[in-house]
Structure 1
Amino acid sequence: MTRIASNVTQILKAVPPHVTVLAAAKTQSASMVMEAYQAGLRHFGHNYVQEALQMLPAVNAEIKWHMIGHLQRNKAKQALDLFTFIDSLDSLRLVDELEKQASMMKIIVPVMIEVNIGEEEAKTGVAPDVALQLAQSVSSLSHLRLVGVMTMGPRFGDPEDSRIYFRRTRAIFEAIQAMQLPNVVLKYLSMGMSNDYLVAIEEGANMIRLGTAIFGER
């Protein structure tokens, strides 16, 4: 068994069955992605459209690809050609551009709102108090389907320090659910990475995004 396969096996044993493990594949090779796929993973994420343009055609597998990085509006069409999910909605302007492109392509795209839960200047994502408003905007559209909320909280050495941010993100997820918006079926609460995913799961995450824990240090 390869190192990647061993890592995947251990992770899948450690997390509850309702939790989807998404492999964060930026800077990884197509062969490493295939190793993780063969070990049982089906959801993979990428941060950059340009890198994904090179990698995705080289990966011949039934993978559900997620755009998990900041998406520029001028890359919206390319992203829709490449990815099954767009997990990083962070502005109304991006929402409008994705709706326009998806309409022309005659597709319906599952999307997630990215919340900048720590309100950090260096990070993308909507401010927590804007998330519900953006959810309402998406619910009125014909070609985007809101299926989740994603966050990347502040990075801490101690995973426990992330707990309050995960708890706040879950509160936003539940608030959107309570709105009972048309065309919105929230399925995924995507939070937690290699250093803090166990805490994220304790706080309600049912999708975790792992890079180092699967592929090793870059």
Structure 2
Amino acid sequence: MTEVGDRLVETQAAKRLAQVKERIARACAICGRDPATVTLVAVSKLHDVTEVAAMAACGQRIFGESYIQEALPKMEAAPAGLVWHFIGHLQRNKAKLAVGRFALIHTVDNLELAGILQKKTEASGLTQDICLQVNVAGETQKSGIDPEHLPELAEAVAAMGALRVTGLMVIPPVFDDPEGARPAFARLRGLRDELAARLGLPLPVLSMGMSGDLEVAVMEGATHVRVGTDLFGPRQR
């Protein structure tokens, strides 16, 4: 890319980042929250490293990836000092590769996957932060633990010494009206509160909300919003 092209990409990135941050700030103002309590995860999956670098040059530091085979080379080529989250379905045969590379894995939803992560994390002498993904609407095409079985999974994972359960994650059903997602977000918050009391753990993270519904998610207590399209534009592939 030419120097002029680089500047154009960075200018577009700065505009998009400012717009998303303003949306978060407005949502926080409505519900009386401090915008600093909402972490913006820039979803860079299927976008190349030059776009990540442009967004990083504008001050964004936390990026989310969904595919191990895409993420790891991108992370190596990206500017230093960035923080990476894994937000996609984590295949069991790739789980070991995620340990120690991502500050937070948002999508643990079964005991077998947790066991693989625990074994690798323990062997590496690390502690891995995770969220438990919950399928609050029972959608068969989506990953996530059923709410009914969440306490059992959470108790088992919390007992694993190398994994630290930090909270819950949800991908709600898709609605034309963002308000349609509100019940899913409220349900996740309630499940988190119940689970925190049951486990005696703070569980500070509520990973919920994307480009189309981040305001509703913030008003329902989201601590991490995962925004891709409104930051990077349509995916390139």
The answer to whether the aligner puts 1:53 opposite 2:72 as a matched pair is yes
- What are the within-5 Å matches in structure 2 for residues 42-191 of structure 1? 42-181=61-200, 184-191=201-208
CA contact 1:132–1:172 (8 Å) conserved in 2? no
Once the two structures are TM-superposed, the CA of residue 189 in structure 1 deviates from its matched residue by: 0.4
- What are the within-5 Å matches in structure 2 for residues 11-26 of structure 1? 11-15=20-24, 16-26=35-45
How many Å separate the matches in 2 of 1:156 and 1:61? Answer: 37
User: Structure 1 or 2: larger strand share?
Assistant: 1
Among the aligned pairs, what percent are the same residue? 38
Q: Which stretch shows the higher mean deviation, 51-60 or 94-103?
A: 51-60
Which residue does 1:208 correspond to in 2? 225
How many Å separate the matches in 1 of 2:164 and 2:194? Answer: 17
For residues 190-214 of structure 1, the C-alpha deviation after alignment (integer angstroms, 9 at most, x for no partner) is 1010000001111111110000110
Aligned-residue Cα RMSD (Å) equals: 1.3
How many Å separate the matches in 2 of 1:206 and 1:176? Answer: 17
Aligned length: 216
Q: What are the ranges of 5 or more consecutive residues in structure 2 without an aligned counterpart?
A: 1-9, 25-34
- The one-letter amino acid paired with 2:134 is V
For the residue of structure 2 that corresponds to 1:145, the secondary structure is strand
Once the two structures are TM-superposed, the CA of residue 13 in structure 1 deviates from its matched residue by: 2.9
Once the two structures are TM-superposed, the CA of residue 81 in structure 1 deviates from its matched residue by: 4.6
For the residue of structure 2 that corresponds to 1:186, the secondary structure is coil
- The one-letter amino acid paired with 2:22 is K
Once the two structures are TM-superposed, the CA of residue 148 in structure 1 deviates from its matched residue by: 1.5
CA contact 1:189–1:205 (8 Å) conserved in 2? yes
For the residue of structure 2 that corresponds to 1:185, the secondary structure is coil
TM-score normalised by structure 2 residue count = 0.87
How many Å separate the matches in 2 of 1:170 and 1:164? Answer: 10
For the residue of structure 2 that corresponds to 1:82, the secondary structure is coil
- Which one has the largest radius of gyration? 2
Once the two structures are TM-superposed, the CA of residue 74 in structure 1 deviates from its matched residue by: 1.3
